[in-house]
Amino acid sequence: MIVSPLDYRYGREEVKAIFSEESDLRYMLEVEAALALAEAEAGIVTRKAAEDIKKHATLEFVKTDEVKRVEREIGHSVMAMVRVLSTVCGESGKFVHLGATSNDITDTAYALQFKKFYSFLIDDMLNLAEVLYKLSKKYEHTVMIGRTHGQHALPITFGLKTSVYLSEVLRHLVRIEESRKRVVVGKFMGAVGTGAALGKETMKVQSILMGNLDIGEEEGPTQIVDRDRYVEYVSLIANIATSLEKFATEVRNLQRPEIGEVQEPFNEAKQVGSSTMAQKVNPVTSENIVSLARIIRGFTIPMYESAVLWHERDLTNSASERFIIPYVSILIDDILNKMTAVFRDLKVNSEAMLKNVMSDDLVLGEAYLMALVDHGYGRQDAHEIVRQASMEVREKGGELRENIEKRTGERIKKMSPLDYTGNAVQITEKIVEHYENVKKSYRAHRGQPKFSVD
């Protein structure tokens, strides 16, 4: 019986595979194999025993169903895996899990999952950045209305809007790179973090083990890797999800018929917008992004709670993390790819943007305020003149500039919203140029990029 929508509705198969039941077991077996090899290198077990353990620490020999059967019998998931692996290793099985506690294995396996997923996450962010870059370049001169409080404010450009999103994505890339070195961390320090089982050899084994797995070492463990690392990871994912919800919400708002400035991709040949209102073209992908982003953020509090454990560790984090880590990872990948698809094939109605911005003379209120200052008026006096003139135009109609001239007797130069976009183009070009440098850096240093976002 399938219950979770992840199993039949959301998420990419290649990402779900990282966090699947089989993958959990495979990663734990990989850690057990690497541990045996590290102990052999340190002279604690024989090379033959380590090679035997490595050979058998695969799903070919350690079957998921058999591990689950043993777990039902003994009530301990990791020990069930250890028993099955020990059995299939024969005489070498007596060296399986030597000096380890359960979380030496599970937390280090988590680190391997994080390591694998981070590569997907970075690719996802770069793909999103690329489509935002292209939109910013294409529409850097496309004037539209800027809105605050849901009301017309001042003219901007659509390229500025998307470049602002691009700059946010670039900051997230920096956060991802910074967090990776703190999150992708394992441990081999035993039951309370002292490494007492192997004594002075423990530090050496841990260093070899983590080096061979190409992950970091927990410098101050308890029984577990410190959960502030996982809190940082989930918080990062929630932060990215929040950005995606913001982007998707803007698409939804600009797609409203009374605005009509953009439209998310819609297969007009086949896609159904409504079961009864056949005419509907709904922004369902953007709405789905919003919905799933809220689910992701909902996991932040349980993750924070899971970091508060008794003494050197209790089990109150275990069950919640089985949900939190896979769900936030799979869902952020899902909505990142959906957001990229929305922006990649976004229909931009530049004519509607032009019509909307040109239809409201009041959006030049600030421009005329500054014109009055140029005529010698104090800023506050000019503000009140424009405010009163605007209220009259709203009530009785007419043109704002003419109303201001009537009130002041000044001749005010007629302006166009198209000429009042300030530094929009320059800001866009600066962000675009920064992205181009970031992209070059990733191409040159794939796997260990070096860049910064100011």
Q: Is 246 helix (H, G, I), strand (E, B) or coil?
A: helix
Any long-range contacts for 314-320 (C-beta under 8 Å, 24+ apart)?
Answer: 317/224, 317/227
Q: Residues 338, 342, 343, 347: what is their CA dihedral angle, to the nearest 10 degrees?
A: 180
Helices (H), 139-221: 158-183, 201-213
The string over 10-22, giving b where at least 16 C-beta atoms fall within 10 Å of a residue's C-beta and e elsewhere, is bbeeebbebbeee
Say which of 274, 291, 359, 452 is annotated catalytic.
274
Residue 348: CB atoms within 10 A of its CB come to 18
- Taking the CA atoms of 148, 151, 156 and 159 in sequence, report the sign of the dihedral they define: positive
For residues 179 and 232, the answer to whether their CB atoms sit within 8 Å is yes
In the residue annotation, 76 being an active-site residue is answered as: no
For residues 348 and 159, the answer to whether their CB atoms sit within 8 Å is no
Question: Which structure tokens are listed for 281?
Answer: 């073209």
Q: Is 54 helix (H, G, I), strand (E, B) or coil?
A: helix
90: left (phi over 0), alpha (psi -120 to 50) or beta: left
In the residue annotation, 141 being an active-site residue is answered as: no
Question: Which structure tokens are listed for 232?
Answer: 């940082």
The string over 197-211, giving b where at least 16 C-beta atoms fall within 10 Å of a residue's C-beta and e elsewhere, is bbeeebebbbebbbe
Distances (CA, A) of 212 to 33, 107, 125, 209: 11, 16, 28, 5
With a CB cutoff of 8 Å and minimum separation 6, the contacts of 167 are: 431, 434, 453
For residues 194 and 203, the answer to whether their CB atoms sit within 8 Å is no
Helices (H), 345-378: 350-358, 365-374
For residue 18, the Cα-to-chain-centroid distance in whole angstroms is 17
Helix (H) or strand (E) segment spanning residue 147? strand 143-148
Distances (CA, A) of 146 to 152, 250, 259, 348, 382: 6, 12, 12, 16, 22
Catalytic residues: 149, 274
